[in-house]
Amino acid sequence: MSLLSKTALLATAATLAAGAALAGSHSAENPAVKARKAHMQLYSHNIGILAGMARGNTEYNADAAVAAASNLADLSHINEASYWVEGTDSESIEGTRALPALFANMGDVQAKIDQLNAASVALSETAGNGLEAVQAGLGPIGQVCGACHDAYRVPNN
Amino acid sequence: MSLLSKTALLATAATLAAGAALAGSHSAENPAVKARKAHMQLYSHNIGILAGMARGNTEYNADAAVAAASNLADLSHINEASYWVEGTDSESIEGTRALPALFANMGDVQAKIDQLNAASVALSETAGNGLEAVQAGLGPIGQVCGACHDAYRVPNN
């Protein structure tokens, strides 16, 4: 999907999020915020599996490494237009660390997501070759995660 | 990935989940449980967008409908072996509705996930054709969601 059509989606996402709230939300938390936090949780889960191996905290397992990297590729292929709804930045609502700059730079955000996808696809193709391949392939993934967080997330205290 | 290699993954998933806990968990909740709840949240978010249109609560939007259906296809392509860790069923720990029967029937669980994937791919190919296509395509998705919940989730009170 082009960036232009992603932008068009954003314009209607606020309305659409109301549908999500009807179907799935069990709390008052904004449904778009809930969805993006869930998405980040799944990134964290799969990166954690790979990082655990890379750091020697868990034993290298080829199938599990390939699965985690493939999962990162699937996750970074997801269309996030319904997550980044106008009016859900950290200066507009409670409970989010998404800076207003994110919403003003959706093209750059999507470019970073595409970088993450490329790095994840690459790792999914090498992660079965051994621990060193996992360690090498995690570098570009960590870099793009950090670049997006540095630019668009409220800093850690 | 074959069911056999998914089964092999389950045997090591408990160890691997420790790595996920180190990297991403901010609470004491079991990391596998957190991941599967996040995954379900994302199913709910995308099904909510489609259901909102199908029920007439939100206006039909072709791009958004295709995006949501494609997202369901990506999500149901994810390898869930690291979620369904032995000892994390509803009779072993608090905070989960995953019945022991789920863990005893991983082949059937995976077959249902594959059905969801096929139904989601099909809807992603028709969802741009109009509201009636969304309404028709949601039927098989809801059926497989319900079948899995009926068999493997602690019932609603």
Q: Is A129 exposed, middle or buried (0-12, 13-18, 19+ CB in 10 A)?
A: middle
Among B22, B38, B71, select the one facing A52 at the smallest CB separation: B22
B10 touching A (Cβ < 8 Å): no
In chain A, which residues have their Cβ closer than 8 Å to the Cβ of B124?
A: none
What residue type is A78 in one-letter code? I
Give the Cα separation of B114 and B79 in Å (integer): 11
Q: Is B155 exposed, middle or buried (0-12, 13-18, 19+ CB in 10 A)?
A: exposed
B57 touching A (Cβ < 8 Å): yes
Q: What are A108-154's pLDDT values in tens digits?
A: 999 999 999 999 999 999 999 999 999 999 999 999 999 999 999 99
Q: What are B67-111's pLDDT values in tens digits?
A: 999 999 999 999 999 999 999 999 999 999 999 999 999 999 999
Percent of chain A with pLDDT over 70: 82
Residues with Cβ within 8 Å of residue A137, at least 6 apart in sequence: A69, A119, A122, A123, A126, A127
The mean-pLDDT minimum among A3-17, A26-40, A103-117, A123-137 falls in A3-17
Contact assignment for B71 to A58 by CB distance below 8 Å: no
Among A8, A64, A77, select the one facing B82 at the smallest CB separation: A64
In chain A, which residues have their Cβ closer than 8 Å to the Cβ of B42?
A: 35, 38-39, 42, 78
- pLDDT for the residue numbered B27: 43
- pLDDT for the residue numbered B24: 40
Q: Which of left, alpha, beta for B11 (phi over 0: left; psi -120 to 50: alpha)?
A: alpha
Average pLDDT (B35-39) is 98
At residue A42 the predicted structure's pLDDT band, cuts being 50, 70 and 90, is very high
Chain A: residue whose CA lies nearest to B57: A19
Q: What are A114-126's pLDDT values in tens digits?
A: 999 999 999 999 9
pLDDT at residue B126 greater than cutoff 80 = yes
DSSP-assigned beta bridge partners for residue A153:
A98
Residue written as tokens 């207003």? A100
At residue B14 the predicted structure's pLDDT band, cuts being 50, 70 and 90, is very low
Q: What are A72-85's pLDDT values in tens digits?
A: 999 999 999 999 99
